[in-house]
Structure 1
Amino acid sequence: MTTATAAPAFDAVAFKTTTRAQWQAAAEAWHRWGPFLGRWLGDATETMFELAHIGPGSRVLDVAAGAGEQSIGAARRAGASGRVLATDIAPALLERAAADARAAGLSNLETLELDGEALDTLPAGSFDAAISRVGLIYFPDQQRALAGMRRALRPGGRVSAVVYSTPERNAFFSIPVRIIRERAQLPAPLPGQPGPFSLGAEGALEAAFAKAGLRDIEVSRVPSPVRLASAAECVRFERESFGALHQMMVRLDEAERASTWDAIEEALRQFESSVGFVGPCEMLVGAGRK
């Protein structure tokens, strides 16, 4: 008689611990790339602000705010009569967000180290809008995060999030993921494991918002091509800023990692032309009302 072997389970606690450490280490680089992030994700960010109805006087919760480039944009929209609370799991990122807000003369932006799945520690009904730019996709329990955002909103308040669409529409990212997965001989993602394309499938973002009890849901597709000088520059951006790719290569030795990055650069050169590098990328911006 054979005994069935249980399938390996995704360890959310270990994932968060590793993720926090990666972002602590990458904070300086992520902040340094902030102006590029603002250009690359500018259209998606503005769409997120519009769908969240952020304007003068808005009280805004920014979840997984990172180094705060979009938090500062929200603070400018909210004006002196509004406020923005930028939260993240990595305090090194928030330190840079706070410093940039001070440098910009913004007194309406605060930061708080907080897990995006622990938003129930915030006062209920205290925000008009909750936003998350390319953060929700990496939460092990996306429903818990959305429930926390919904709880933090006043009646009629809105949640809006930016996520990647499908791998096929985001080759600048999916090609490196595929190459690393092949070279590191990684198994398929475990059930429940978060990742860049976890909400990109047709209807997935709408379904997640609906399950969280949000209403009047809408999703917009926003072309967001990655425009850089070369494929080499794109690889430098990903090497310095995308901790998930480094996590995937943890079992490769130094030579194997270098070879893998070379292979990624070679594959991404297909997107180079006389105008530089233009990597395919498409964002989805979803919103729903409490």
Structure 2
Amino acid sequence: MSSVENEGLRRNWSQAAQGWARWWEIIERGTRIVSERLVDLARLQPGDRVLDVATGLGEPAVTAGRRVGPRGEVVAIDRSPEMLAAARQRIQALGVQNVKFLQMDAEQLTFPEQSFQAVLCRFGLMFFGDLRAALEQIHGVLTPGGRFAAAVWDHPASVPMISLPVRLIRQVLNAPPPASGTPGPFNLADVERLKTLMADVGFVDVHHERTLVRVEFSSAQHYVAFAQSVLPEKEELATLPPERQAAVWRALAKLTEPYQDADGVVRFANRAHCVVGSRPPESG
């Protein structure tokens, strides 16, 4: 990926930071199960030093910080300064003392070799421009026997919370589907490709499991407001006349009907993959 494209991704996340912060509590109710599972798969122990890559608003950094305790440390990195600013505010309110935030790109880590007992990444790998480079860097900063645990989204049909508006806006804009390997939420839906890449850069005992991320919105309009806040595609939609934009959001509300209960609550069950692998222990 070129530096221009990489900067575009960083800008998208920076622009979305305020929206994600606004909706954090609702999203975190559903995604908390993923953070907890990642720290389990990484086998975190009190006193461990952990790296959280593409931390966004600070997860699974906070969950990991609680697991490793006061003798441990979590270093949480992200390329977006706006995301990190929101994460720092959140962690201050929580009173967590052992998590440190740094602006850094996962494809260009500056830590010494073998710095961390574990590395985590929740819903970030799919957006990396050079995934192999990032995995090589992650492998390098792990201590021998250290574990890397990451979560990625499944195929679009299994992640309606994200795929409904993305598909609709692409249809409205007559946009072609992204080319294979293009950074985006479903770039690693074929989890076997990720497992193969991990093995190629030196991870061993690579395996994955599925989990459901259940997220609820109080109404269709509540969900539409979420989509309007966080979707990067909204910038392209803003080029359309206002009446056409309004029609798109009405159509999105209509698409939620299969997910509504009798009270109009919108309930999405979104499937994710949790993948884990280890750096081999030192021989001899």
TM-score (norm 1): 0.89
Where 1:199 maps in the other structure, the secondary structure is: coil
The structure 2 residue matched to 1:172, chosen from 161, 172, 177, is 161
Q: Distance in 2 between matches of 1:286 and 1:131?
A: 10
Where 2:120 maps in the other structure, the secondary structure is: strand
Q: CA deviation at 1:187?
A: 1.9
Question: In structure 2, what residue type is equivalent to 1:277?
Answer: V
Structure 1 residue 99 corresponds to structure 2 residue 118: no
Structure 1 residue 260 corresponds to structure 2 residue 248: yes
Structure 1 residue 133 corresponds to structure 2 residue 118: no
Question: In structure 2, what residue type is equivalent to 1:76?
Answer: R
**C-alpha spacing 1:279/1:88, structure 2 compared with 1 (3 Å):** same
Retained in 2: the 8 A contact 1:64–1:135?
Answer: yes
Q: Distance in 2 between matches of 1:21 and 1:253?
A: 24
Q: CA deviation at 1:251?
A: 4.9
Where 1:41 maps in the other structure, the secondary structure is: helix
Q: What is the aligned partner in structure 2 of residue 281 from structure 1?
A: 270
**C-alpha spacing 1:249/1:215, structure 2 compared with 1 (3 Å):** farther
Retained in 2: the 8 A contact 1:98–1:111?
Answer: yes
Structure 1 residue 27 corresponds to structure 2 residue 28: no
**C-alpha spacing 1:41/1:153, structure 2 compared with 1 (3 Å):** same
Give me the identity figure in percent: 32
Q: Distance in 2 between matches of 1:277 and 1:191?
A: 31
Q: Distance in 1 between matches of 2:237 and 2:150?
A: 28
User: What aligned pairs does 1:76-155 form with structure 2 within 5 A after superposition?
Assistant: 76-119=66-109, 121-155=110-144
Q: What is the aligned partner in structure 2 of residue 60 from structure 1?
A: 50
TM-score (norm 2): 0.91
Question: In structure 1, what residue type is equivalent to 2:12?
Answer: Q
Where 1:192 maps in the other structure, the secondary structure is: coil
Query: CA RMSD, aligned part only?
Result: 1.9
Retained in 2: the 8 A contact 1:34–1:69?
Answer: no
Q: What is the aligned partner in structure 1 of residue 222 from structure 2?
A: 233
**C-alpha spacing 1:140/1:60, structure 2 compared with 1 (3 Å):** same
Q: Distance in 1 between matches of 2:3 and 2:104?
A: 15
Question: In structure 2, what residue type is equivalent to 1:142?
Answer: L
For residues 17-57 of structure 1, give each alpha carbon's deviation from its aligned partner in whole angstroms, at most 9, with x where no partner exists: 22222322222221232222221111111111111112311
Structure 2: runs of 5+ lacking an equivalent? 280-284
Question: In structure 2, what residue type is equivalent to 1:200?
Answer: A
Retained in 2: the 8 A contact 1:209–1:288?
Answer: yes
Where 1:281 maps in the other structure, the secondary structure is: strand
**C-alpha spacing 1:24/1:84, structure 2 compared with 1 (3 Å):** same
Structure 1: runs of 5+ lacking an equivalent? 1-10
